[in-house]
Amino acid sequence: MLELKLLWSALVVYVASGSTAIVSVVLGRKPQRVILALLALGLVLHTGSIAVRWDRLGHGPFVTMFEILSSNVWSLLLAFALAYWRIPAVRASAAVVMPIVFVMMGWLLMTSPGEGHLPPTYHTIWLFIHIGFGKVFLGAVLVAVGLAGVVLLRFKGLGLRRLSGLPADERLCDLAFRFMALGLIFETLMLVAGAIWAQDAWGRYWAWDPLETWAFVTWLTLAFALHARLAYTQRPHHGALLIIAVFVLAFLTFFGVPFISTAPHKGAV
């Protein structure tokens, strides 16, 4: 099937790009153009795969776990590629970000690419708005996680020489928190858009279903992280740990809850 061939080629190209990034940090080389070009090629192939499937099924990649993972690998790598391209200081963090995305790709390969049933409530523009905001949120947090990872690696004394060309930890942490701020804006937008959709479709804007609950806890943790930075003079690796904590919660919300929950988002019934 063309769709799966495209997807597999994209994954192979992503892995090539990520491995080059990791090796380049370990060996202290800077093949940045190659990494970015491979990322871009992977994204093109992946976009093709998603488009073919969309056309075949008549709906976007929002229903099955396979679709959720595939579209998020796509959006996370798109966000990261944009940051990689525009902000040179982010580049070394590919060695942290790519392994995270590799895990998602491995998981993607293990899920069944079968079709799901698009619920009637999904025929609305709010689906795209809500999910779109969520993707920007997760993309921003992923970039922050990459930077936080670099800070933590240096704190642990790993790759000191390779990572020494980068700005100081305080500066990286500041940049990471700017991405967290962007994340807060988009997570707030995601929650508001979801609430508008729920109010319109079911008459109540909030029902504490598992996804809503975990998304709200993630939002609170993000607020906590931003305030902690203002309330205390923070060491960069503490800030980095808070960023990782927010990411772990966001990751569990986006992928863990739909995976284990038998009571899905009301939107999915």
Contacting positions for other proteins (CB under 8 A):
89, 117, 120-121, 167-168, 171, 174-175, 178, 181-182, 184-185, 188-189, 192, 195-196, 199-205, 208, 210, 213, 216-217, 220-221, 223-224, 227-228, 230-232
Nearest-angstrom CA–CA distance, 222 and 181: 9
Residue among 109 and 220 whose Cβ is closer to ligand HEM: 220
> What character string, x for contact with ligand HEM (CB under 6 A) and - otherwise, covers 182-221?
--x-------------------------------------
Angle at 63 between CA 62 and CA 68, to 5 degrees: 55
The phi and psi torsions of 264 (rounded to 5 degrees) equal -70, 175
Task: Compute the least distance from the CB of residue 208 to other proteins, in Å.
Answer: 6
Chain center to CA of 147 = 14
Quick check: 223 binds ligand HEM (CB under 6 A)? yes
**Terminal Cα-to-Cα distance of the chain (whole angstroms):** 29
Phi–psi pair at 180, nearest 5 degrees: -65, -35
- Residue 146 or 239: the one with the smaller Cβ distance to ligand HEM is 239
Residue 2, burial from CB neighbour count under 10 angstroms (0-12, 13-18, 19+) = exposed
| Partner that binds at residue 85, options ligand HEM, other proteins, none, CB closer than 5 to 8 Å by kind | none
In the complex, what is the shortest distance from the CB of residue 124 to other proteins, in angstroms, rounded to a whole number? 8
Residues binding ligand HEM: number (CB under 6 A): 5
Q: Which residues contact 54 (CB under 8 A, 6 or more apart)?
A: 60, 61
Which residue, 11 or 211, is less far from other proteins as judged by CB?
211
